[in-house]
Structure 1
Amino acid sequence: MYFSVAGIEVQPWIPPLTAFCVSFFTSMGGVSGAFLLLPFQMNILGYVNPSVSATNHVFNITAIPAGVYRYIREGRMVWPLTWVVVIGTLPGVFIGSLLRVVYLPDPRNFKFFVGLVLLYIGGRMILDLLRKPAPGQDKKSAEKRFQETVKAWRSRAESTGEKLPAVRVTRFSTTRIAYEFYGEAFEISTPGILSLSLVVGVIGGTYGIGGGAIIAPFFVSVFGLPVYTVAGAALMGTCVTSLAGVTFFQVIAPWFPNQSVAPDWILGLLFGLGGMAGMYLGARCQKFVPARYIKWMLGAVIFWMALKYVVGFFL
């Protein structure tokens, strides 16, 4: 099948199958998988036009709602965190989209920058996992209690129809966001999340990854939030910013007649359909997978991609 905007020919079953496999695993950590699909499009399919970023956004807005719906249904969306991420990211995604077309039609230099950022995040996550807890700090975490609750719930859910408890927000202001998760309280800075989201928006808008691959690890490794409660917020933020990004790319396309700027909608939708199924199943299975495994998976993938970008810059 020939995709005229992308200028490539590929079997129509390959994009959805690839997106399904990627999204099933990455969605458990609050990442859509777009940061892996972009290299796949560029390196495997040969889609190197600037419009590949916009096409990646199409994948996000098609695939992510299924995963977000599952998190909402299970009461694991921290809505204040979600809206702060959206508000902070939106201005950045417009700036980033413009930078992509005007200053970075060749993404080589920006890949190097993203590689350094992801190298730090992935490295930090892996170091946190390898670090042994200090004496007296080996008590059960909220995530361990969550796993125990899930096991107990599974044993009686069929007969009682019992649902897992939802996240409870205790504070939401211009300075702090606080919520409780299985008896453990978490509190973060609202301005800190806004600042991080703005930077993530610029990166995501430029590269077409939405930003989930960057912001989700920051929530876990820097802010110390449990992955079970931030995955939904990260995915929702990615979806909204990707919607803004693809709209912006489509609007500015007429001003750049010598470049392929507008997305390849058919290719993006094919990726999105596979990603939709993968994200829904990934979000559904997340609560049955130990958080440590999710963190290892996310950290390893990000670290590998970072090394690929950094090393590739010098080759």
Structure 2
Amino acid sequence: MQFPISGVEVNPAIPFVVAFIISFFTSMGGVSGAFLLLPFQMTFLGYTNPSVSATNQLFNVVAIPSGVYRYFREGRMVWPLTWIVIIGTLPGVLIGAIVRVAWLPDPQHFKLFAACVLLYIGAKMGRELVGKNYSQSSKAESERRFHEMIRRHQSKADRMEMTLKPVRVDYFNLKRLGYTFYDESFDISFWGLFSLSFVVGIVGGIYGIGGGSIIAPFFVTFFGLPVYTVAGAALMGTFVTSVAGVLFYQTIAPFYPAVTVAPDWALGLLFGLGGMAGMYLGARCQKYVPAAKIKWMLTGIITFTALKYIADFFGY
């Protein structure tokens, strides 16, 4: 099948299946999977012009609602955290889109930029995981009780339908956000969250993945928030900023007639449908996977992608 906007020719089953597999695993960590779809499109499909960023964001728009719905049903949406992510990343994504089109249209330079971002995130998460003994930490004890509770109350009949204890927001103002999840309290600076969201929004806008797509690893490493509560907020933030990103790329396309800027709607929708199914199942299964394993999975995926980009840049 030929996709005229991107120039990609591929069996339509391949984008669907690839998006499904990627989204199933990455959605457990609050990541849409768009950051892995980008190298797939650029490397395997040969889709390298700036519109690949817009197509990637279109994938987010279609795929993410199913995962957010699942987290919402289970009471694991920390809405104040979600609003901070949205208002912080939204302006950053728009700035990032301009930077991508105006200063990073060359795919090789773009790959090097993306590699630096991902390698930093992967290294930060890896150092934390190697340097921390989870069996002796209070977080590990909380996680152990959490999974023991699941195993104790589950039967084969209701294993996938059990309702988890929801997140409780204790306070939220322009200074601090505090919430409790399974007897563990978390207190975070409002402006710290906002500033990080804004910077990550710019990076996400350039990369074409929506600001929230890479906010989850930052929240886990910099603020020590549990991945079980970060995932829903990160995905919701990604959805809102991706909607804005797609509309923005489509709007500025006439101003850059020499470059393909608007998304490939057919290809993006096909990716999105696969991602929708994978993301729902990933969000549904997340509570059965220990947080440390999810973090290791994210670290491995992020580092591998970064090293692949660096290898591509130097021609290996």
TM norm. shorter chain > 0.5: yes
The match for 1:96 is 96
Identity of aligned residues (%): 64
Q: Aligned to 2:224, what secondary structure does the other structure show? A: coil
8 Å CA contact 1:143–1:226 kept in 2: the answer is: no
| Corresponding residue SS for 2:178 | strand
Match of 2:167 in 1: 167
Partner of 1:13: 13
Instruction: Give, in whole Å, the separation in 1 of the partners of 2:29 and 2:134.
Output: 26
* Whole-angstrom distance in 1 between the partners of 2:135 and 2:110: 43
Contact 2:92 2:198 (C-alpha < 8 Å) held by counterparts:
yes
SS of residue matched to 2:154: helix
- Identify unmatched segments of 5+ residues in structure 1: none
User: Partner amino acid for 2:125?
Assistant: M
Give the direction of change, closer, same or farther, for the CA distance of 1:128–1:51 in structure 2 (3 Å limit).
same
CA, structure 1 residues 255+216, in 2 after alignment: closer, same or farther (shift >3 Å)? same
Distance of aligned partners of 1:78 and 1:314 in 2 relative to their CA distance in 1, 3 Å threshold: same
Per-residue CA distance 1:208-241 (angstroms, 9 max, x = gap): 1113442111111111011100000111111111
Partner in structure 2 of residue 310 of structure 1: 310
After the TM superposition, which residues 194-205 of structure 1 pair with which residues of structure 2 at under 5 Å, given as runs? 194-205=194-205
CA distance in 2, matches of 1:135, 1:57: 38
Task: Provide the rounded CA distance (Å) in 2 between the counterparts of 1:31 and 1:158.
Answer: 27
* Pairwise CA distance, 1:138: 6.0
**How large is the Cα RMSD of the aligned pairs?**
2.0
Superposed counterparts of 1:123-138, under 5 Å: 123-133=123-133, 137=137
Deviation at 1:102, TM superposition (A): 1.4
Q: Residue 227 of structure 1 corresponds to which residue in structure 2?
A: 227
Give the residue type in structure 2 aligned to 1:260: T
Q: 1:157 to 1:222 in 2, by over 3 A?
A: farther
Q: Which residue matches 1:61?
A: 61
1:163-201 CA distance string (max 9 Å, x none): 211000001111111100100001111111111111111
Mapped contact 1:34–1:60 kept (Cα < 8 A)? yes
Gaps of 5+ in 2: none
Tell me how many residue pairs correspond in the alignment: 314
Residue in 1 aligned with 2:183? Answer: 183
| 1:25 equivalent in alignment to 2:25 | yes
**Partner secondary structure for residue 188 of structure 1:** strand
Superposition pairs of residues 11-160 of structure 1, within 5 angstroms: 11-133=11-133, 137=137, 140-155=140-155, 158=158
Task: Say whether the 8 Å CA contact 2:89–2:212 is kept in structure 1.
Answer: no
Task: Say which SS state the counterpart of residue 166 (structure 1) adopts.
Answer: coil
Distance 1:281 1:139 in 2: 26
Q: CA distance change for structure 1 residues 129 and 56 in 2, over 3 Å: closer, same or farther?
A: same
Shift of 1:140: 4.3
Inter-CA distance 72–136: structure 2 relative to 1 (3 Å threshold): closer
| Deviation sequence 1:98-147 (CA, Å, 0-9, x none) | 11111111143343233223222211212222224399746743322222
Distance 1:139 1:291, change over 3 A: closer
Paired AA for residue 50 in structure 1: P
Secondary structure in 1 matching 2:288:
coil
Aligned counterparts of 2:270 and 2:92: Cα–Cα separation in 1: 27
Cα separation, partners in 2 of 1:221 and 1:58, compared to 1, 3 Å: same
Query: With structure 2 as the length reference, what TM-score do the two structures score?
Result: 0.94
Residue equivalent to 1:267:
267
Q: Which amino acid aligns with 1:243?
A: V
Equivalent AA in structure 2 for residue 80 of structure 1:
P
2:142 and 2:303 map into 1 onto residues whose CA distance is: 26
Amino acid at match of 1:251: T
Amino acid at match of 1:99: V
Superposition deviation, residue 156 in structure 1: 8.7
2:292 matches 1:292: yes
* Counterpart-to-counterpart distance in 1, 2:244 and 2:147: 36
Which one-letter code corresponds to 1:105 in the other structure? P
SS for the counterpart of 1:187 is strand
C-alpha contact 2:96 2:201 (8 A) present in aligned 1: yes
Instruction: Report the Cα distance in structure 2 between the residues aligned to 1:177 and 1:157, rounded to whole angstroms.
Output: 38
Q: Helix, strand or coil: the match of 1:61?
A: helix
The match for 1:210 is 210
Q: TM-score, normalised by structure 1?
A: 0.94
Q: Deviations over 1:24-63 (max 9, x none)?
A: 0000000000011011111101111111110001100000
In structure 1, give the amino acid aligned to 2:128: D
